Structure 1
């Protein structure tokens, strides 16, 4: 597998690259080729005396390159100018990559800078699966030097969320790729009011989840569990995260709400912003090139 790792070169971003456990998880799911990528904003001038922004950024990527190479990965580094989300997704599409990895810091609105910017836009336009690694700043006043990954074992405990749509099924088909790194998968369906109004019941939802759990048991040889909650989707997902403390929450990137909106704007963005686990978004097969 080929992965694009997007970094803003901050210490918080570097935290995502220092964990040997994290790198072992990536190796376990078959990642062998890593493309380290950073974007120099257009408003950063490279014409100032003694300053070449692109060269400085390329040099700053070297410690991260050395970390990956020491762990046995083939590594290339890339520096570009422009809108970060366009450049990140553009590189992932050109390679093409099997996975894009970005870091996200903080859970409170004031610390959610990347949710309102790069992560949200990458997720909305990505044509490859996107892994959002949650980085813990430690406290509202902590320095970047104190940043660590919230969950080092990226794929050990997985919460798979499904609304039984085609997009959720595509995310389900991604699960077997994680089998060498996963110990347990919990399958969750949130029974919203509009679904009960159409006659869906807890019994039907549990039966459908049980069928998928049995399929995973055959294909992945992992422990599985199922859960059905009622109420609003985001609150149901966050409640299940609190109950089982997964290392990864897996969702399809789009859903089937009444308005046919992006699941990202409806659910996924809230899960990334308010949740406690890493998030893996799998886009639908029909996503057009960006």
Structure 2
């Protein structure tokens, strides 16, 4: 598997790249090649006096490369110029990346100047599953908020096609996953069962739980009712996962569940890492 790791060379990005536990997690799910990418924004001109942006970035990437190679990965580096999320997606398509990884400080990537806006834009446009690796915010020497990426995954599903696509990632995540919490948030259009034994939602979650348990993963289910984004965030607070897994499109019959209403809210406000899986037509 190939992973593209985007970095703006900030302390947050450095913390994500040098997290040995995170690298071990990537190895367990089958990643063996990592492409390090940094983008010089279009509005930064090469001719600015006294500043060699591309040279400085190439030097920094060499340091990161040595760190990752020591953990047994093959590493390629890319220093490019342009709009960050567009260039990252372009390289991801070129190398046929299986994952895109971006670091983001604190709970709100929308408040972070460079990598924050990149994380937000990638959440809307990523051409491959996107991991938003949460890094401590109010700290001069930050660390990842959750060092283990996939140990405990909270999987949020509305039973849409894209939610099913997100569930398929467990085929490789299971190498690093010990616990999964399956969450569904009822909407007004979901049928209300007369009894717990007659609940189609619980039955469908149970089917997914059986699949995971056959793989030796401890699994629990959680059915909630209310605003999807609010309830997914509440479930995260209750279950304390290392990563929240969600498809980046909601149910097609519920337009308000499109990205920007739920997925982007999870990226912005989740405490844990977030793994967004785009639709097949991304």
| Fold match by TM threshold 0.5 | yes
2:205 to 202, 206, 209: 209
1:148 is paired with a residue of what secondary structure? coil
* Shift in Å, 1:48: 3.2
The worse-fitting range, judged by mean Cα deviation, of 114-123 and 11-20 is 114-123
1:266 is paired with a residue of what secondary structure? coil
1:40 is paired with a residue of what secondary structure? strand
Are residues 1:239 and 2:238 paired? no
1:264 is paired with a residue of what secondary structure? coil
Are residues 1:250 and 2:261 paired? no
Which residue number in structure 2 is paired with residue 90 of structure 1?
Answer: 90
Compute the TM-score of the two structures, normalised by the length of structure 2.
0.93
CA distance in 2, matches of 1:262, 1:46: 42
How many residues are matched? 278
Are residues 1:267 and 2:267 paired? no
Which residue number in structure 1 is paired with residue 31 of structure 2?
Answer: 31
Which residue number in structure 1 is paired with residue 6 of structure 2?
Answer: 6
CA distance in 2, matches of 1:57, 1:36: 11
Which residue number in structure 2 is paired with residue 20 of structure 1?
Answer: 20
Q: How does 1:5-84 map to 2 (within 5 A)?
A: 5-84=5-84
**RMSD, matched Cα:** 1.8
* Shift in Å, 1:52: 2.8
* Shift in Å, 1:178: 0.7
Structure 1 112/206 Cα, relative in aligned 2: closer, same or farther at 3 Å?
A: farther
Unmatched tracts of structure 2, length 5 or more: none
CA distance in 1, matches of 2:162, 2:14: 32
CA distance in 1, matches of 2:235, 2:60: 39
* Shift in Å, 1:125: 1.2
* Shift in Å, 1:104: 1.3
Q: How does 1:171-182 map to 2 (within 5 A)?
A: 171-182=166-177
Instruction: Please list the CA deviations of residues 138-181 of structure 1 after superposition, one character each: whole Å capped at 9, or x if unmatched.
Output: x2xx33xx211000000000000100000000001111211110
Is the contact between residue 109 and residue 119 of structure 2 (CA under 8 Å) also seen in structure 1? no
Are residues 1:128 and 2:128 paired? yes
- Moved segments of 4+, more than 6 Å: none
Is the contact between residue 106 and residue 273 of structure 1 (CA under 8 Å) also seen in structure 2? no
CA distance in 2, matches of 1:29, 1:228: 28
Unmatched tracts of structure 1, length 5 or more: none
Is the contact between residue 248 and residue 259 of structure 2 (CA under 8 Å) also seen in structure 1? yes
